[in-house]
A and B are shown apart, each in its own frame.
Chain A
Amino acid sequence: MPLPKFRLEKRESVPNWFRMALPFIAIGISFIFSSIIILFAGKNPVTSIYSIFYGALGTRLGLMETLVKATPLILTGIAVSFAFTGKFWNIGAEGQLYAGALAATWAGISNFNIPSFLYIILLLVVGFIAGGLWALIPGYLKAKLKVDDVVTTLLMNYIILYLVTAILEGPWRDPVTMWPQSIMISPNAEFPKLLQKSRVHFGLIVGLLVVFLVYIIIKHTKLGFNIRAIGANPNASNFLGINVTKTIIITSLISGGIAGLAGVGEVAGLHYHLTENISPGYGYTGIVIAMLGGLNPIGVLFASFFFAIIITGAQYMSRATGVTSFIADVIQGITLLVLLAMLILYEYRIRRVE
């Protein structure tokens, strides 16, 4: 019997239920594929996935760690989502995070004699500016010269990584341990803890605040209007009088700045010094978060928590079932591909050909 043939037929509009269901369907499919891989590793996928969720949500320790992991993810997720809304393909959140971390560390180890709350604000400000500037370079190149932003933002990641390594192995190398990491930042600059006996810190508040601010900007300001217009149709936006160049540049600045804040949080709220591995790829996860969240601030919030659960839970799972925690990275990659494949269904529906 011949296989049924399918063809793609253009859709007129996307039903709302589909738009809401899409992320869940994508997660479901990605769990199926991941389960197959776990099976190949000779382990039980059901218990593995269960232990991910149990590990992240079932114990107080797990829940606290999930919140800790969610903190930078919320910020990178919303940073990328903001950029993508305006069609600025910011793949450089990882590097912008490092830029922010670098700047915050500089401010932190300079031991300024200022009260704590001012010091924290200073860290946030310099971190935002550093991240913003790091994204501004590709942003400017795209706005004025039409240089491809995907590749440039990505390359900037490697540049700053080497810069950080050079600084940590050079002038900022810890003179006591001689390891490539900075000395501790001033205790005055440390973010306060939110919950006793946990690592959950002020960065989480910053993240939630930023999500709220981004929501306000996109929905209620002139800038947000411009960004949405350009994201929908740059040609028409230009014809209708919107300053596309200026908007792209501002978008890149803000997006990079937000990602920079993620770096500040990791330094000032978690580690209190700068290391080479301060981010295990949060900037890249931010991309998947942004897409899973449908470029919607609420969606991004949920998607960030989802991945925080996956990352935290995977640690627990690896101890419980022997499946290495790197399954989290696999799930991340598969989810992006599945989402991408499913996005085609926004434009086309599948029809059986008789």
Chain B
Amino acid sequence: MKEIFTIGFFIGLFSATLRMATPLILATLGEVFCERSGVLNLGIEGIMLFTSLIAFLTTYFTNNLWLGVLTAIIVGILFGILMAFFTVNLGVSQHVSGLGITLFASGLSLFTYRQIIGSPQIPPTIETFKTLTIPVLSKIPIIGPILFDQYILTYIALLSIPIVSFIIYKTNFGLSLRAVGENPEAADALGINVYRTRYVALIIGGGLMGLAGSFFTLAYFNMFLYGIVGGRGWVCIALVIFANWDPARVLLGALLFGGVDALQLRLQAIGFNIPYQFFLMMPYVLTIIVLVLVARNAIAPSSILKPYRRE
């Protein structure tokens, strides 16, 4: 046992934790925007899956990784607009809208991949991003390889946290956003356009989810698999609550869940006795526990799930 848990093991583990936390951070930040404006976006799982496919296909056909990222973001934004159409314009159930989008986007992913690529023996792969090794800093013992030898998308994700935090807490848009999420009537009475604010929030959210999606196929893995997102979208829903809708705390939760992800892979390789599935289950069990605790405290943005319609 002791031979397994070497320094090398832990460096590998923490480095992988940061990697696997990347899409969680980005998508959760996107969901924070949505929910802060009062819209629960359950389309996150489907959007991440479809955008990961778009990123893959774009890169596969153009050999340009950044173009792949860009198209993923654009498609994410389009889905954000779709969600906004249902929840803001039509004012229908946010639950079913999000689920409908996930079902639609998932089905579309299956269809598009199979239609374009078919089912070859060896699925096509692409050249993914390489990790960006920051000179000098990456040579620092232990911390170096963990923090300064990561994909550029990971650095972007980490930078997003202070940026999103700034937007939400220090800008006029952020103030209006939070007001709309808590008390849209009050915001409306003061002249804030509730519909437009929610649209913008869903667009930003969709874009971030698209960025997260691109990470799966352009960095984490070099091909598209149907199960590549594997339910992490739902974990993000929990992370938002875990982070108390605060961008800074998203990092903590993402690292936790990313760590569990990274750990179970390694334990599997070692041949640990407990089936790795129990670790995979953990995020979902934890999510339910978090939801139960939250239900007692009701700290969500108060207008969430209620469509706003001025009579």
Among A147, A159, A327, A333, contact of B106 (Cβ-Cβ < 8 Å): A333
B residues less than 8 Å from A340 (CB atoms): 86, 90, 92-93, 96-97, 100
- The contact sample of 11 A-B pairs, CB cut-off 8 A, is A150-B99, A151-B42, A156-B288, A158-B234, A162-B278, A324-B110, A326-B107, A326-B111, A330-B107, A330-B110, A332-B103
Question: How far is A170 from B272 in the complex, measured between Cα atoms in Å?
Answer: 13
Contact in complex: A158, B281 (CB < 8 Å):
yes
Residue B95, interface by CB 8 Å: yes
What 5 new A-B contacts, CB under 8 Å, besides A89-B95, A166-B275? A141-B292, A162-B277, A165-B277, A166-B278, A329-B106
Contact in complex: A343, B92 (CB < 8 Å):
yes
Residue B237, interface by CB 8 Å: yes
Question: How far is A169 from B291 in the complex, measured between Cα atoms in Å?
Answer: 30
B residues less than 8 Å from A341 (CB atoms): 86, 90, 92
A residues less than 8 Å from B291 (CB atoms): 141, 147-148, 151-152
CB-CB under 8 A for A337 and B231, given A151-B237, A329-B111, A344-B92 = no
Residue A37, interface by CB 8 Å: yes
CB-CB under 8 A for A324 and B92, given A91-B99, A151-B237, A162-B280 = no
B interface: dominant SS:
helix
A residues less than 8 Å from B104 (CB atoms): 330, 333-334, 336-337
Interface residue ranges, B against A (CB under 8 Å): 42, 86, 90-93, 95-97, 99-101, 103-108, 110-111, 114-115, 231, 234, 237-238, 275, 277-278, 280-281, 284-285, 287-288, 291-292, 295-296
Q: Quick one: which of A318-350 are within 8 Å of B by CB? A: 323-324, 326-334, 336-337, 340-341, 343-344
Residue A146, interface by CB 8 Å: yes
Closest partner residue, chain A, to B99 (CB atom): A91
Question: How far is A290 from B105 in the complex, measured between Cα atoms in Å?
Answer: 20
Question: How far is A287 from B99 in the complex, measured between Cα atoms in Å?
Answer: 10
B residues less than 8 Å from A337 (CB atoms): 86, 97, 100-101, 104
Contact in complex: A324, B277 (CB < 8 Å):
no
Closest partner residue, chain B, to A318 (CB atom): B114
Question: How far is A327 from B111 in the complex, measured between Cα atoms in Å?
Answer: 6
Q: Quick one: which of A281-331 are within 8 Å of B by CB? A: 284, 287-288, 291, 323-324, 326-331
A interface: dominant SS:
helix
Interface string of A133-164 (1 = CB under 8 A from B): 00000000100011110111011101100110
Among B42, B90, B107, B281, contact of A329 (Cβ-Cβ < 8 Å): B107
Minimum CB–CB distance from A30 to chain B (whole Å) comes to 10
Residue A118, interface by CB 8 Å: no
Question: How far is A166 from B280 in the complex, measured between Cα atoms in Å?
Answer: 10
Question: How far is A146 from B305 in the complex, measured between Cα atoms in Å?
Answer: 14
Interface size on A, residues (CB 8 A): 44
Question: How far is A150 from B287 in the complex, measured between Cα atoms in Å?
Answer: 13
Residue A41, interface by CB 8 Å: yes
Minimum CB–CB distance from B270 to chain A (whole Å) comes to 16
Closest partner residue, chain B, to A169 (CB atom): B275
Minimum CB–CB distance from B226 to chain A (whole Å) comes to 10
Minimum CB–CB distance from A42 to chain B (whole Å) comes to 9
Q: Which of B106, B108, B111, B275 has the most CB atoms of chain A within a 10 A radius of its CB? A: B111
Question: How far is A89 from B40 in the complex, measured between Cα atoms in Å?
Answer: 15
The 8 closest A-B pairs by CB, nearest first: A333-B104, A329-B107, A166-B277, A333-B103, A326-B111, A326-B110, A324-B114, A162-B277
Q: Quick one: which of A13-44 are within 8 Å of B by CB? A: 37, 41
Question: How far is A145 from B107 in the complex, measured between Cα atoms in Å?
Answer: 34
B residues less than 8 Å from A326 (CB atoms): 107, 110-111, 114-115
Among A148, A165, A336, contact of B96 (Cβ-Cβ < 8 Å): A336
Minimum CB–CB distance from B282 to chain A (whole Å) comes to 9
Q: Quick one: which of A213-263 are within 8 Å of B by CB? A: none
B residues less than 8 Å from A141 (CB atoms): 288, 291-292, 295
Minimum CB–CB distance from B286 to chain A (whole Å) comes to 10
Contact in complex: B115, A324 (CB < 8 Å):
yes
Interface string of A72-96 (1 = CB under 8 A from B): 0000000000000000010100000
Question: How far is A285 from B99 in the complex, measured between Cα atoms in Å?
Answer: 12
Q: Which of A159, A163, A331 has the most CB atoms of chain B within a 10 A radius of its CB? A: A159
Contact in complex: B96, A323 (CB < 8 Å):
no
CB-CB under 8 A for A145 and B296, given A329-B110, A330-B111, A340-B96 = yes
A residues less than 8 Å from B114 (CB atoms): 324, 326
Minimum CB–CB distance from A194 to chain B (whole Å) comes to 31
Interface string of A153-194 (1 = CB under 8 A from B): 011101100110110011000000000000000000000000
